[in-house]
Structure 1
Amino acid sequence: MKPAFLPGLALSLLTGTATLAQPTAPGLPATPQRPVTDTYFGKKVVDNYRWLENTNDPEVKAWFQTQADYTKRTLDQLPGRDSLIKTFEAYDKLLTVRYGLVKKRGNRYFYRKTLPSETVGKLYVREGKTGPEKLLFDPTAYDKTKTYSMTGYTPSPDGQQVALGLQEGGAELSTLRILTVATRAFRPESIPAVFGGEIDWLPDGSGFLYTPNNSTDPKDPKGNLDTKARLHRLGTPVAADRELWSRMKNPNMGIRPDQYPIMAFANDHTQVYGVLSSVDRRMDAWLMSPADLAKPTIAWKRLAAPTDSVYNFAKLGSKLYLHSVKGAPKGQILVTDAASPNTAKATVLLPEGPGNITRLLSTKDYLFVVLSDGINEKVRQYDPRTQQWADVPMPGTGTAGLEPYNPTTSNDIFTYVSTWNRPETVYDYTPESRKMVVSAFDMQARYPGTDDLVVEELEVPGHDGVMVPLSLVYKKGLKKDGNAVCFMTGYAAYGVSATPYFSRRMLALLNQGVILAETHPRGGSEKGQAWYRAGYQTTKPNTWKDFISCGEYLVKNRYTSPQHLIGEGTSAGGILIGRAITERPDLFAAAISNVSCSNALRMENSPNGPVNAPEFGTVKDSVQCMGLYEMDAFQHVKPGTKYPAVLCVGGMNDPRVIVWQPGKFAAALQAASTSGKPVLLQVNYDNGHFTEDKKVTFRNFANMYAFALWQAGHPAFQPKSVAAVK
């Protein structure tokens, strides 16, 4: 395979006999080292495992399978692992029915419903909120020879049709099918490579707008580049779908290959919006008239440029409301004319205040703004008719969940509050009366141990003196003697904040005396835009240094000790955990690097890499390239270092973080570590970045937790002899 040459990047291949690393444990063959040297703007960087990136090569496939088999044999023998799975199942059964994705069309309520005995949810409909339910679609009966789940669905405006995404074998990319509600039969259309059934129907239900990937193969390097927004008319061949908006069709709009052109109607269907979606939260947005959908050329009008720093917008009547952070790091709400929006002349409706604006949404007649103090959220509503703001009486503090049933025709909202130590209660909220009543879709369960959970919200000093939020959850009576196992996790990317949530899986650990430490490093938005930008591209080191500071605080104050501290990072959080253990290997007993970005310098050489360049940087820029090198955990693995025990996890069907990212990190750690602690690679062949399938999910997390608790010295997870896990 010929390498791609990029500006400022020279590549030389070092040929010769491959060297062998030392095996990490008996029964696991050593991984060959075949060095490749890249020169990035004068800096030479050696990659010993470039060959693992060719996942179609039989040798590479065999390597991953060998790693997966060895890891499975090891984890299968851990005491406590199967008990964790049983605990997950037992807690799951306590909630007799689980509802999700509730949507209203006319008088019909559509929803996903999952019973404890079911691995995936089914689609139901009711006439009226409390009417008798009707099963519309069971993904397990769709094809008995395969494993399917329903990733998402969108009912048509009249509720007569439902577009739904079918996911096969844990693959995240779905096949879009159209279900007729009256007959429960599928129309002939079958559209591949669509994320989760994400479409927007035409107002009359005759078709829909959608943007598919170019390929169903998550490893296709061109799968999500130069995608095209299309229009499908029901009853017409998919191959004839019109291309409405793309870089090729609109060469003068400055569309980048990595941007997804997404089109959707305003709630009142009077406008169509186009958003060039990417990981950059600053919207690149346009608008058009619905009448232009029938014309050969669309007359696009600029709504907001990235330099306007608009994070979201909502239309109510003749006005457009904008969530902007330009000159207001914690956010402000602006208002402008919807027909001719002008962000420069927009009026400030809600000025920046002490609370960080985390969300803007609307119903038929009301605007809602969610504000956070860094951890807990409150909600305000605005009525344009009276020009009055009012507080929404949320039932408690924590993360505020708000989902309109149908923002086109209704003001009713499905709402809840998530906390660290209590499962949420679901309410129906009516903004006209500002009343909340327990929803017909609320199902309560009482979980063991929740009354004994203590929550501490702290701020700890970071490496540079900046105070970093830290949330702790643990059982009453904790002895601060350094002997408790602590599970410390973090994400801190894309401006995503770690807000309170209740997790039955984590409850299984909490009830065994484990401390949960949720960190809030720079890179999230807990303290606004400035907090996000302080852990972004070249400032990314603050992310893992904040994580390390949280661990140091927990050790210093005797919550735990390095012998009992577990670190975990998932996806972009792989940068956080990877660099934390390569910078401070002595601080952790164990680490979980889950579907992790571990080789940031090579991310652009993966299918989803170019899409993420606006967040992490690009090797085409000399400054950003050095930032990528600094955040690359794989490149910071040093031979002869006593690394903690590490479990790397990769999904063979993962379209977001390709499997060789955690794979190469595992290979490097296996060769380098002198601690004698295991470094394992769990390869999920029935999973992607994640999956709805409860059976697969329970096994996956039980494996991760059991490994970490074993290595952190939890007594319930210690084998009788070392030989038992070799």
Structure 2
Amino acid sequence: MKIYVATLSGYLLAICSLFAQNKPLSPAPKRPVTDTYFGKAVIDNYRWLEDLNNQEVKDWFKTQGDYTNAVLDQIPGRDSLINTFVKYDALMSAQYSGVRRKGNRYFYRKTLPTENVGKIYVRDGKTGTEQLLFDPTTFVKGKTYSVSAYTPSPDGNKIVIGLQEGGGEYSTLRTLDVATKAFGPESITAVFGGNIDWLPDGSGFLYTPDNSADPKDPKAAIDTKARLHRLSSDPQTDPILFSRTKNPDLGIRPEQFPAMYFSDDHTQLYGRLESVDRRLTVWLASPAEVKKPAITWKKLTTPSDSVTAFVKVGSKLYLQSIKGASKGQILVTDADNPNPANATILLAQGQKNITRIVASKDYLFVTLSDGINETIRLYDTRTNTWNDIPLPFTGTAGVEPYDPAHNNDVQVYVMSWNNPVMIYDYTPEDRKLVSSVFYVPVQYPGVADLVVEEVEIPGHDGILVPLSIIYRKGLKRDGSAACLMSGYGAYGMSGTPYFSRRNLALLNKGVVLAETHPRGGSEKGQAWYQAGFKTTKPNTWKDFIASGDYLIKKGYTSPGKLIGMGTSAGGVLIGRAITERPDLFAAAISNVSCSNALRMENSLNGPLNIPEFGTVKDSTECMALYEMDALHHVKEGTKYPAVLCVGGMNDPRVVAWQPGKFAAALQNATSSGKPVLMQVNYDNGHFTEDKKVTFRNFANMYAFALWQAGHPDFQQANAQLNKVTVKK
């Protein structure tokens, strides 16, 4: 430890010296490793950076991170941007989320403007006296915690809380007595997120831990096991109920994540294989089976059934299906003897996509989308009638039941690019939206001056691609405005409208925001998703490029002002966009990005993602992975835009060496003289709830990009920052 501290101190002094002299960092050493994939030789010069436990690698990331911080700290406007985030956040006196009802008790998370993370509260009745139940900031003196998840018991007398420490994404589960606020003896580690489901009698709960809480451990999520914990028992003795080894006859693959939970009314037990494949694999059993040495499972749905969601209401199961219906349909089948193949069509495929289904005690709620904006229909299972829920404006909408097992009260929310979220209480029998007691109205500056355009632009192959453009009134379409263009295009996740205070801070500075809707999402249904999937993945970044070309052609921005941003799986999009069209962008943000697709299987979360991206073990899928691999498309001597790569050392979803290797390759290859920086977050994972960390993280990204895009608020008068580059 003493040697390590001394080493870091030396590097820190070196960084300060380099920055003071405006000298670039030394390029990362190239240590070629050649892999041959089905006859194709691929050279990986930065394989050595994958060993995050190696001291040299640790020092490389620390050096990169310190150098990047030194640059970012001197960008004018960065700290002002943080202050704007704080100011806008303070306009909402309190933020409520995750409201759940058990009996007459309402549990929820509330965050005040002065708080970096939320606290858990409880009240008797919606308008009862509020009681603080748990404050993560005072849990252990000297340590930083946040609540990843919380689940009250069926009677509301106890609650399981998932605790994350220091920006990590693994949780430790603790049980809390609601009346006494005393913790139980159990402490269960290595649970991703922290979600669990209680036994009907409240005597214990179901959960699935990873094998370790080390985000660098590639085997942490292999052969995981769903377990039962009885209150006050030793977690080390928790029996395994559902796993590949426990159930060898079920054909569970090592990378699939087995989860167990009950129907809302606790009349059925489900065993589900969590996967990125939208088509569910689920078995069902009687809840009484948890007491037996082995559960007798009955098949509910397989991928061939193409069921993407299901809910139980009364004696029926309602299935959201894409089988033969790209935009979705709702099927109904008997809950005790379900048969998706012979299920009755309740709501046939229409012009709109079916995006979500949820249920209350007697009602089914169906969210439908025209590709961007959503509407909600409700179905009364007792009278077999349909009605629409009236919404105050168009945008993203949804329903969250308070206690679906016992009543029909729900929350309805709606938001858009230029309308902050509004939350209502809705009782289906009355069909009235009433402002929720868990909603605080707020007015933000500049919102009334925002303009939203929803257009469709021709893609590279002539296919029309949706594009959302948001800007302030009075925009001159002369190419002078900086534009932040974001995209994702994976897992069938659509870029639905959302309101962001961070986005508002940029909009109020005259920045144009563009949300792309490339193939790989589900804006136009399942076919749109499959058109940006594995071998068709190039459509994703080509749609992104086409969107940028459109914005420039129409004068919203120009190549010297356009910023591209991709996050997580969107790293494929941004990485391949800048390697295919480096001339298109002034700057790019590659945030916790999948940048080395050929090596994703060698990380913790990689095997789980094989159904989405493919595997190197299949010749066709392997070549598709090579095509989407940004690292292996970096070319020496190319004038790349300024790039900020971001990685989290606590990230179990996209390991930090993915963006790290990409940054190293770009630093060695670029001939543009523009900076390529690697921001390393040691207090963050993929994301974090901590507002202080989040505000600084995003302010860093935006300030860097706007500096390079020439926004006047982020320029140094003497231009010395442009000399602090990382180049060969």
Q: Tell me the TM-score normalized by structure 2.
A: 0.96
Question: Secondary structure of 1:116's match?
Answer: coil
Structure 1 consecutive aligned stretches of length 4 or more whose deviation exceeds 2 Å: 721-726
2:592 maps to which of 590, 595, 604:
595
Following TM superposition, by how much is the alpha carbon of 1:722 offset from its aligned partner in structure 2, in angstroms?
Answer: 3.1
Distance 1:724 1:556, change over 3 A: closer
2:293 maps to which of 280, 291, 296:
296
1:398 maps to which of 389, 395, 398:
395
2:171–2:190 Cα contact (<8 Å) kept: yes
CA-to-aligned-CA distance 1:78-111 (integer Å, 9 cap, x gap): 0000000000000010001111111111111111
CA-to-aligned-CA distance 1:126-175 (integer Å, 9 cap, x gap): 11101110001000000121111111100001110010110001000100
Where does residue 349 of structure 1 map in the other structure?
A: 346
**Equivalent residue letter for 1:152:** A
Following TM superposition, by how much is the alpha carbon of 1:240 offset from its aligned partner in structure 2, in angstroms?
Answer: 1.1
Where does residue 248 of structure 2 map in the other structure?
A: 251
Where does residue 4 of structure 1 map in the other structure?
A: none
- In the alignment, the residues of structure 2 paired with residue 525 and residue 626 of structure 1 have an alpha-carbon distance, to the nearest angstrom, of 24
Q: How does 1:536-551 map to 2 (within 5 A)?
A: 536-551=533-548
Where does residue 331 of structure 1 map in the other structure?
A: 328
Following TM superposition, by how much is the alpha carbon of 1:196 offset from its aligned partner in structure 2, in angstroms?
Answer: 2.5
2:709 maps to which of 701, 707, 712:
712
Where does residue 285 of structure 1 map in the other structure?
A: 282
- In the alignment, the residues of structure 1 paired with residue 265 and residue 78 of structure 2 have an alpha-carbon distance, to the nearest angstrom, of 51
CA-to-aligned-CA distance 1:270-293 (integer Å, 9 cap, x gap): 110111110001000110011111
1:600–1:629 Cα contact (<8 Å) kept: yes
1:164–1:196 Cα contact (<8 Å) kept: no
Following TM superposition, by how much is the alpha carbon of 1:297 offset from its aligned partner in structure 2, in angstroms?
Answer: 1.7
2:555 maps to which of 538, 555, 558:
558
Q: Does 1:425 align with 2:449?
A: no
**Equivalent residue letter for 2:115:** E
Q: Does 1:575 align with 2:594?
A: no
The alignment yields a C-alpha RMSD, in angstroms, of 1.0
**Equivalent residue letter for 1:119:** N
Where does residue 518 of structure 1 map in the other structure?
A: 515
1:660 maps to which of 652, 657, 661:
657
Following TM superposition, by how much is the alpha carbon of 1:397 offset from its aligned partner in structure 2, in angstroms?
Answer: 1.0
**Equivalent residue letter for 1:455:** V
Q: How does 1:75-224 map to 2 (within 5 A)?
A: 75-224=72-221
**Equivalent residue letter for 1:178:** T
Where does residue 368 of structure 2 map in the other structure?
A: 371
Q: Does 1:322 align with 2:299?
A: no
- Equivalent residue pairs, number: 704
1:150–1:166 Cα contact (<8 Å) kept: yes
Question: Secondary structure of 1:157's match?
Answer: coil
**Equivalent residue letter for 2:169:** E
Following TM superposition, by how much is the alpha carbon of 1:724 offset from its aligned partner in structure 2, in angstroms?
Answer: 4.2
Distance 1:208 1:540, change over 3 A: same
- Structure 1: stretches of 5+ with no match in the other structure: 1-22
Question: Secondary structure of 2:184's match?
Answer: strand
Where does residue 632 of structure 1 map in the other structure?
A: 629
Question: Secondary structure of 1:544's match?
Answer: helix
Question: Secondary structure of 2:434's match?
Answer: strand
Where does residue 382 of structure 2 map in the other structure?
A: 385
CA-to-aligned-CA distance 1:403-455 (integer Å, 9 cap, x gap): 11111112111111010011122100101111110010110111100000000
Question: Secondary structure of 2:391's match?
Answer: coil
**Equivalent residue letter for 1:248:** T
1:451 maps to which of 448, 451, 459:
448
Q: Tell me the TM-score normalized by structure 1.
A: 0.96
CA-to-aligned-CA distance 1:682-710 (integer Å, 9 cap, x gap): 00000000000000000000000000000
**Equivalent residue letter for 2:281:** D
- In the alignment, the residues of structure 1 paired with residue 104 and residue 340 of structure 2 have an alpha-carbon distance, to the nearest angstrom, of 38
**Equivalent residue letter for 2:449:** D
Q: Does 1:439 align with 2:428?
A: no
- In the alignment, the residues of structure 1 paired with residue 30 and residue 23 of structure 2 have an alpha-carbon distance, to the nearest angstrom, of 19
Where does residue 463 of structure 2 map in the other structure?
A: 466
CA-to-aligned-CA distance 1:560-579 (integer Å, 9 cap, x gap): 10000000000000000000
Question: Secondary structure of 1:677's match?
Answer: coil
Q: What percent of counterpart residues are identical?
A: 70
- In the alignment, the residues of structure 2 paired with residue 232 and residue 594 of structure 1 have an alpha-carbon distance, to the nearest angstrom, of 37
2:365–2:399 Cα contact (<8 Å) kept: no
Question: Secondary structure of 1:178's match?
Answer: strand
Where does residue 45 of structure 2 map in the other structure?
A: 48
- In the alignment, the residues of structure 2 paired with residue 583 and residue 724 of structure 1 have an alpha-carbon distance, to the nearest angstrom, of 27
Q: Which moved more, 1:406-415 or 1:464-473?
A: 406-415
1:409 maps to which of 383, 399, 406:
406
Question: Secondary structure of 1:188's match?
Answer: coil
Following TM superposition, by how much is the alpha carbon of 1:394 offset from its aligned partner in structure 2, in angstroms?
Answer: 2.2
2:639–2:670 Cα contact (<8 Å) kept: yes
**Equivalent residue letter for 2:239:** R
**Equivalent residue letter for 1:562:** P
2:285–2:297 Cα contact (<8 Å) kept: yes
**Equivalent residue letter for 2:395:** G
**Equivalent residue letter for 1:330:** K
Q: How does 1:670-685 map to 2 (within 5 A)?
A: 670-685=667-682
Question: Secondary structure of 1:575's match?
Answer: helix
2:486–2:565 Cα contact (<8 Å) kept: yes
CA-to-aligned-CA distance 1:457-497 (integer Å, 9 cap, x gap): 00000000000000010000110001110000001100000
2:38–2:619 Cα contact (<8 Å) kept: yes
- In the alignment, the residues of structure 1 paired with residue 391 and residue 264 of structure 2 have an alpha-carbon distance, to the nearest angstrom, of 25
Question: Secondary structure of 1:487's match?
Answer: strand
Following TM superposition, by how much is the alpha carbon of 1:396 offset from its aligned partner in structure 2, in angstroms?
Answer: 1.8
CA-to-aligned-CA distance 1:211-234 (integer Å, 9 cap, x gap): 111101111111111110111111
2:376–2:398 Cα contact (<8 Å) kept: no
Where does residue 484 of structure 2 map in the other structure?
A: 487
Where does residue 695 of structure 1 map in the other structure?
A: 692
Q: Does 1:504 align with 2:517?
A: no
- In the alignment, the residues of structure 2 paired with residue 464 and residue 38 of structure 1 have an alpha-carbon distance, to the nearest angstrom, of 33
- Structure 2: stretches of 5+ with no match in the other structure: 1-17
- In the alignment, the residues of structure 2 paired with residue 378 and residue 181 of structure 1 have an alpha-carbon distance, to the nearest angstrom, of 38
2:210–2:221 Cα contact (<8 Å) kept: yes
Question: Secondary structure of 1:424's match?
Answer: strand
Where does residue 58 of structure 2 map in the other structure?
A: 61
- In the alignment, the residues of structure 2 paired with residue 99 and residue 195 of structure 1 have an alpha-carbon distance, to the nearest angstrom, of 23
- In the alignment, the residues of structure 2 paired with residue 154 and residue 188 of structure 1 have an alpha-carbon distance, to the nearest angstrom, of 17
**Equivalent residue letter for 1:200:** D
- In the alignment, the residues of structure 1 paired with residue 355 and residue 286 of structure 2 have an alpha-carbon distance, to the nearest angstrom, of 29
Q: Which moved more, 1:28-37 or 1:59-68?
A: 28-37
Where does residue 34 of structure 2 map in the other structure?
A: 37
**Equivalent residue letter for 1:329:** S
- In the alignment, the residues of structure 2 paired with residue 564 and residue 524 of structure 1 have an alpha-carbon distance, to the nearest angstrom, of 26
Q: Does 1:611 align with 2:608?
A: yes
- In the alignment, the residues of structure 1 paired with residue 690 and residue 581 of structure 2 have an alpha-carbon distance, to the nearest angstrom, of 36
- In the alignment, the residues of structure 2 paired with residue 297 and residue 203 of structure 1 have an alpha-carbon distance, to the nearest angstrom, of 19
1:372–1:378 Cα contact (<8 Å) kept: yes
2:224–2:257 Cα contact (<8 Å) kept: yes
**Equivalent residue letter for 2:648:** G
Where does residue 239 of structure 2 map in the other structure?
A: 242
